[in-house]
């Protein structure tokens, strides 16, 4: 199973599908896995449309908005044994907003909700992470989930903390068995029995693991060797496509940037996940943090990605009032150029999309003129007196 390939394949099917190709926002939003870790649910949505894609034959089935809710379609599925294989930051943000609004009275499947919270704990999905990625103010729902019930577990940095019972000597504390990994937990091979205060127990467990088990960067004897390895993998493998399309090609600059990102990975939850190889976890970290990496790239190298979508170059960008506007050059297969003035454009990873655009074929001078008109506040509605079909 390759979730990344599945996401790319389904997104390509949607892009070429007659019913959805004009919906720029339509894409895979999350994937649920069954008990055997095989793809079970592929849910996609965009502007005003939601579909379920069959994982075997890729048949697309529309979902009525009234028939869908996170309570029944995610939380209950998690309670029944499914797990999250892939989920975009947009979905997490929407779920966090709904939890903030509905919890506790209007959420029925609290067992599934707790499994979702555990997933966020395990994978570093925090308010800070979502805010930085989406440039939004995410409600901090984790303040609502500071406790763990008897017999519940918390997974953090690969470790498993299992709440066993109240401390008979202090009813404000819980007795917790701590395991090094999932395999040891399944085998009942704990490394320590601890007692922690019930108040904010999730935070207390994390703080205990950070203090006693997570190696500090300057205490890790393999730090420099591992950082050099991760720097190499980022530069020559995982971020290679990004560098090919960038305006910065100097080897020293790229090395310094990859070295910087390697340091971030060494401080991440993924690095401490002992269940998978470091290469697998670095790959997962890159996939999860692409927008942060692109943002870091621009700050650290003062460069831009020269081409988006593989063949679109930004020639200029600005605003008409509060509307982002870009002048784009698109290279067609035979190397001819097409020019666009795009409104409400957005860049996600290395992809650019827009709300609507005016198309100028190879007439660069008119496109440049109209772009200047737009950022000066003018409307382009009548720019093609006899070619209104060019506005899509």
Query: Which residue in 256, 260, 326, 317 sits closest to 293, CA to CA?
Result: 260
97-136 pLDDT, tens digit each: 999 999 888 899 988 998 899 888 878 888 988 988 888 8
Contact criterion met (CB below 8 Å) for 207 and 151? no
- Could you please state the CATH topology (level 3) that the domain comprising 307-390 is classified under: Nuclear Transport Factor 2; Chain: A, (3.10.450)
pTM for the model stands at 0.54
Q: What is the pLDDT of residue 110?
A: 87
The number of angstroms, rounded, from the C-alpha of 289 to the middle of its chain's C-alpha atoms is 6
Task: Quickly list H helices, the chain.
Answer: 3-16, 70, 76-79, 89-102, 110-123, 127-134, 182-187, 201-212, 223-233, 240-244, 251-266, 278-288, 290-301, 364-375
Ranges in the chain annotated CATH 3.10.450:
307-390
Residues of the chain under the 50 pLDDT cut: 218, 388-392
> What is the rounded distance in angstroms from the CA atom of residue 39 to the CA atom of residue 22?
27
Query: Which residue in 258, 253, 126, 130 sits closest to 202, CA to CA?
Result: 126
Query: Which residue in 380, 382, 385, 340 sits closest to 359, CA to CA?
Result: 340
Q: What is the pLDDT of residue 147?
A: 82
Query: Which residue in 327, 298, 295 sits closest to 313, CA to CA?
Result: 327
Q: What is the pLDDT of residue 349?
A: 66
Structure tokens given for 47: 């502007």
């Amino acid at each position: 199973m390759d979730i990344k390939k599945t996401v790319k394949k389904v997104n390509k099917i949607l892009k070429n599908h007659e019913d959805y190709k004009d919906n720029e926002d339509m894409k895979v939003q999350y994937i649920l896995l069954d008990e055997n870790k095989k793809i079970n649910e592929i849910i996609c949505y965009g502007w005003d449309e939601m579909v379920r894609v069959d994982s075997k034959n890729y048949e697309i089935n529309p979902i009525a908005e009234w028939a869908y809710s996170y309570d029944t379609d995610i939380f209950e599925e998690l309670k029944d044994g499914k797990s999250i294989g892939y989920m975009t930051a947009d979905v997490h943000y929407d779920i966090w907003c709904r939890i903030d609004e509905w919890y506790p009275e209007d959420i029925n499947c609290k067992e599934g909700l707790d499994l979702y919270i555990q997933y966020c704990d395990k994978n570093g999905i925090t308010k800070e992470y979502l805010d930085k990625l989406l440039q939004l103010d995410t409600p901090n729902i984790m303040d609502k989930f500071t406790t763990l019930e008897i017999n519940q577990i918390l997974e953090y940095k690969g470790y498993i903390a299992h709440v066993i019972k109240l401390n008979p000597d202090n009813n404000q504390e819980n007795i917790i068995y701590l395991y090094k990994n999932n395999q040891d937990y399944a085998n009942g091979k704990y490394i320590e029995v601890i007692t922690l205060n019930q108040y904010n127990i999730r935070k207390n467990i994390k703080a205990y693991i950070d203090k006693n088990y997570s190696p500090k960067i300057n205490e890790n004897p393999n730090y420099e060797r591992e950082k050099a390895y991760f720097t190499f993998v980022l530069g020559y493998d995982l971020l290679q496509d990004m560098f090919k399309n960038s305006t910065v090609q100097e080897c020293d600059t790229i090395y310094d940037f990859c070295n910087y990102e390697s340091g971030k990975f060494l401080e991440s939850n993924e690095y401490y996940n002992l269940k998978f190889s470091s290469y697998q976890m670095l790959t997962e970290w890159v996939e999860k943090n692409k927008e942060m990496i692109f943002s870091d790239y621009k700050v650290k190298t003062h460069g831009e990605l020269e081409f988006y979508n593989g063949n679109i170059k930004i020639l200029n960008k600005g605003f008409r009032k509060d509307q982002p506007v870009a002048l784009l050059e698109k290279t067609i297969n035979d190397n001819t150029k097409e020019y666009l003035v795009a409104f409400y454009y957005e860049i996600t990873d290395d992809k650019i999309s827009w709300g609507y655009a005016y198309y100028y074929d190879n007439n660069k001078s008119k496109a440049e003129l109209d772009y200047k008109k737009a950022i000066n506040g003018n409307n382009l509605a009548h720019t093609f007196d006899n070619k209104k079909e060019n506005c899509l």
